[in-house]
Amino acid sequence: MMPNKLRKSADISITATLNLGIISGCSQEEPTSEKIQTITTKDLESKLKDDSWVIVDTRINDAYNGWKLEGVERGGHIEGATDFSANWLEVNIKDKEKTLEQALKTKGIDKDKNIVLYDANGEDAEAVAYYLKDQGYENLYTYDVKEWSKDEKLPMEQYENYKMIVPAVVVQDILDGKKPETFENAKNIKVVEASWGEEKEAYAKGHVPTTVHINTETIEPPPTWVLASDEELTKFTKDYGFTKDDTIIVTGPNTMASYRIAVVLRYMGVNDVRVLNGGNDAWVRAGYELEKTSNPKQSGSDFGAPIPANQALIDTIPELKEMLKDPNFTLVDNRSWNEYIGKDSGYSYYNKKGRIPGAVYGYAGTSSVTLEDYRNIDNTMRNSDEILALWKSSDINTDNHLAFMCGSGWRAAEVLTYANVMGFDNTSLYSDGWMGWSNYSSNPIETGEIK
């Protein structure tokens, strides 16, 4: 059950290179084997509850989540639609075809079904349609979702807190001096880049224009890599001139680092913190360039509130021990399966293995630096139905308070944010993770599979 997590909405493109025509609605054009049929709004509405039909959103992930992009009047996706973004066809990764094939299977986009592919630019759906035709799919239709979004009686869904993760085009609008939707009340918008190490490590190789670099070691100093003290975090805000009333967008080459910094900023008390969905790769895919200019930080004197102002967002070890006694609490372990069962530590520089007793396997990826269970192929947020299916398979009760953990807070910070985007607010981060817990010999550990 997911009450109040998806709400009804009342409120770049990839060009197909084939020179092919499109049949419109009830068009009587001469059909060819290369043309893709379209479907009318009335016919599409009649298929919403028909299990032999699959409705697929082929736009960028942000549009599916809730952002009003490319001229749609209501943000979000058609009720019940799954997603398969045309963007994914352009991603260059190892085993790409196998990954896309698995995505089609997971989403129920089967060859024996009728498949409606919709977009808002007349290009994305067509690109996916021709990809599917090459895979042997036949019953394909395209549709312009702008027509659907005009009629408020037709059901659309958006994530309750979709604004927490931001599309590249919106960041560009802000850099151009505009105030896009959901930013109207923002007093002072700052865009920062988060990555490990000094500027020369990643920032100097290319970053979103105007961004100021934040070294993740600032908020989790070595050698323990656990969350910095309140005094250190207070100095951090002064060094960067952050205040509680800022709106801060975090970008970076590694989205985990962005989410880690974003959650800590929220914990300190910044009222409005967001992340570029998909990181710097999303920026480049949207057609924008990275810069290599070093942008200096601007110091300040007053954060405007005691730090941390949002203390409940991050749990300490003593707090976690008490929470684990509560049947209405679940500690979600977002590490790889081998880390969870104690087969390996997950880190070359850390050798302690195992898990916290009572922690529930919450999925992550195949290693400590991947999070493919929660991401699409382009490193954007996976859709909520698929995330909830993971949790259901581990008997994670979403009515409980959910605290997310991993090795040291990076993976779990991203998962926590996705949970918040979906509308789960009774949540927190056990920031110090397995490393913080296992550093104390008095803390119990478990290994092996739970019987």
Please give the average per-residue pLDDT across 353-361, as a whole number.
98
- Domain enclosing residue 420, as ranges: 312-438
Q: What is the predicted pLDDT for the residue at 23? A: 30
- Three-class SS string for the chain? CCCCCEEECCCCCCCCCCCCCECCCCCCCCCCCCCEEECCHHHHHHCCCCCCEEEEECCCHHHHHCCCCCCCCCCCEECCCEECCHHHHHCCCCCHHHHHHHHHHHCCCCCCCEEEEEECCCCHHHHHHHHHHHCCCCCEEEEEHHHHHHCCCCCEEEECCHHHEECHHHHHHHHCCCCCCCCCCCCCEEEEEEECCCCCCCHHHCECCCCEEEEHHHCCCCCCCCCCCHHHHHHHHHHHCCCCCCEEEEECCCHHHHHHHHHHHHHHCCCEEEEECCHHHHHHHCCCCCECCCCCCCCCCCCCCCCCCCHHHEECHHHHHHHCCCCCEEEEECCCHHHHCCCCCCECCECCCCECCCCEECCCCCCCCCCCCCECCCCCECCHHHHHHHHHHCCCCCCCEEEEECCCCHHHHHHHHHHHHHCCCCEEEECCHHHHHHCCCCCCCECCCCC
Domain membership flag for residue 187: yes
288 with 232, same domain: the answer is yes
The confidence score (pLDDT) of residue 222 equals 87
Q: Are 329 and 414 members of one domain?
A: yes
Q: Clarify whether residues 195 and 123 are in a common domain.
A: no
Who contacts 430 (Cβ-Cβ below 8 Å, separation ≥6)? 314, 315, 320, 331, 403, 404, 405, 412
Kindly tell me if the per-residue pLDDT of 28 is higher than 90. Answer: no
- Mean pLDDT computed over 431-444: 95
* Mean pLDDT confidence for 423-448: 96
Partner residues linked to 190 by β-bridges: 248
405: left (phi over 0), alpha (psi -120 to 50) or beta: beta
Query: Under a CB-based contact definition with an 8 Å cutoff, are residues 32 and 133 in contact?
Result: no
Query: What pLDDT sits at residue 348?
Result: 86
Do 283 and 351 fall into the same domain?
A: no
**CB contact at 8 A, 182 and 104:** no
Q: Which residues are catalytic?
A: 406
Q: Torsion over CA of 333, 337, 339 and 340, rounded to 10 degrees?
A: 50
- Our CA dihedral for 199, 203, 206, 207, rounded to 10 degrees, sits at -130
- For residue range 221-240, what is the model confidence (pLDDT) as tens digits? 988 889 999 999 999 999 99
For residues 316 and 422, membership in a common domain is answered with: yes
The answer to whether 373 and 406 have CB atoms below 8 angstroms apart is: no
d(CA 272, CA 165): 11
pLDDT (0 to 100) of residue 15: 30
- On whether both 367 and 251 belong to a single domain, the answer is no
Q: Do residues 318 and 433 both lie within one domain?
A: yes
Query: Residue 253 is encoded by which pair of tokens?
Result: 């080459």
Contact 299, 212 (CB under 8 A): no
pLDDT over threshold 60, residue 120:
yes
One domain, residues 302 and 323: no
pLDDT digits (tens, 9 = 90+) for 147-190: 999 999 999 999 999 999 999 999 999 999 999 999 999 989 99
- The pLDDT, as a whole number, for residue 210 is 97
**Is the predicted pLDDT of residue 405 greater than 60, yes or no?**
yes
Q: Which of 116, 135, 159 is the last residue of a domain?
A: 159
Residues 88 and 218 in one domain: no
Domain stops at, among 254, 289, 309: 309
Average of per-residue pLDDT across 308-328: 98
Residue type at position 120: A
Number of domains in the chain: 3
159, 182, 209: which is the final residue of a domain? 159
Whole-angstrom distance, CA of residue 125 vs CA of residue 117: 5
Q: How far apart are CA 142 and CA 264, in angstroms?
A: 43
Identify which of 135, 141, 182, 147 has the alpha carbon closest to the alpha carbon of residue 54: 141
Mean pLDDT of 68-91: 97
Of the two residues 259 and 7, the one the predictor is more confident about is 259
Four-residue CA torsion sign, 387, 137, 122, 287: positive
CATH of the domain at 138: 3.40.250.10
> Crossing angle for the helix pair 255-268 and 410-422, nearest 10 degrees?
70
CB of 282 closer than 8 Å to CB of 290 = no
In tens, the pLDDT along 247-292 reads 999 999 999 999 999 999 999 999 999 999 999 999 999 999 999 9
pLDDT band at 349 (very low <50, low <70, confident <90, very high): confident
Q: Which residue has the tokens 């259901």?
A: 392
114 in Cβ contact with 54 (< 8 Å): yes
Give yes or no for residue 20 having a pLDDT over 50: no
Residue type (1 letter), 36: I
Residues 366 and 422 in one domain: yes
User: Between 377 and 348, where is the model more confident?
Assistant: 377
**Does any domain span residue 413?**
yes
Average predicted confidence (pLDDT) for the chain: 92
Cα of first residue to Cα of last residue in the chain, in angstroms, is 26
Q: Are residues 169 and 246 in the same domain?
A: yes
Q: Which residue has the tokens 């630019």?
A: 121
- Count of all residues that appear for the chain in the document: 451
